[in-house]
């Protein structure tokens, strides 16, 4: 079994700027630079044969390269149940199309439909019982975040492995656009 997801990598210069924002929440487990990405579709634990079928389907995803920007900041959860803080992604029809294409590839590979609403973001930290006031202050100080344009000309299939420091990701396959 292998735990997989499709994602867009964040270029180092933009990732470095995000890492500089990783402070101010005591209960945060800040994500390392190499873990920053925009998930297109989380697939979960898959058998090797299903993973091969998924790779085949993802290799047929088309589309042209496009540009996106990271903008804004927020969190998932409320009050004591806040469990992550993130950098937002500006609205992009092309990004939504790519995420839908990854969903279609997953369905063709035999996976169940994703039931959650797609909200593109870059997770910056996972939280465990944070002080809601600290999280609110962090969001307020980062809500004007706006990155330079990020050129998307490929996406990847990544595996996720648990380590003592959290999840580590490895690029398993890359799919060019255009």
- Quick check: 111 pLDDT over 90? yes
Is the Cβ–Cβ distance between 169 and 158 less than 8 Å? yes
Confidence label for 138 from pLDDT (cuts 50, 70 and 90): very high
Helix (H) or strand (E) holding 152: strand 150-152
Tell me which residue range forms the domain holding 24.
2-176
Per-residue pLDDT, 107: 98
Catalytic residues: 37, 121
What global pTM score does this model have? 0.95
Per-residue pLDDT, 48: 97
**C-alpha atoms less than 13 angstroms from C-alpha of 163 in its C-beta half-sphere:** 11
Give the mean pLDDT of the chain: 96
Q: Give the model confidence (pLDDT) of 38-93 as tens digits.
A: 999 999 999 999 999 999 999 999 899 999 999 999 999 998 899 999 999 999 99
Q: Three-state secondary structure along 20-68?
A: CCCCCCCCEEECCHHHCEEEEEEEEEECHHHHHHHHHHHCCCCCCCEEE
Is the Cβ–Cβ distance between 110 and 78 less than 8 Å? no
- Quick check: 165 pLDDT over 80? no
Question: Domain holding 56: CATH number?
Answer: 3.90.1140.10
State how many domains the chain has: 1
Residue 170: both structure tokens together = 């490895």
């Amino acid at each position: 079994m292998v735990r997989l997801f499709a994602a867009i990598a964040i270029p180092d210069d933009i990732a470095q700027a995000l890492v500089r924002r990783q402070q101010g929440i005591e209960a945060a487990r800040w994500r390392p630079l190499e873990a920053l990405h925009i998930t297109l579709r989380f697939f979960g634990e898959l058998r090797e044969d299903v993973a091969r079928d998924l790779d085949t389907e993802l290799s047929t995803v088309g589309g042209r390269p496009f540009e996106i920007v990271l903008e804004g900041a927020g969190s998932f959860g409320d009050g004591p149940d806040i469990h992550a803080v993130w950098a937002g992604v500006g609205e992009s029809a092309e990004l939504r199309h790519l995420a839908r294409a990854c969903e279609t590839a997953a369905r063709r590979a035999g996976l169940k439909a994703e039931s959650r609403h797609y909200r593109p973001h870059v997770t910056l930290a996972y939280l465990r019982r944070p002080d809601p006031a600290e999280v609110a202050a962090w969001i307020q100080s980062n809500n004007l975040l706006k990155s330079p344009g990020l050129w998307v000309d490929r996406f990847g299939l990544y595996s996720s492995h648990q380590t003592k420091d959290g999840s580590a990701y490895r690029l398993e396959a890359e799919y060019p656009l255009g």
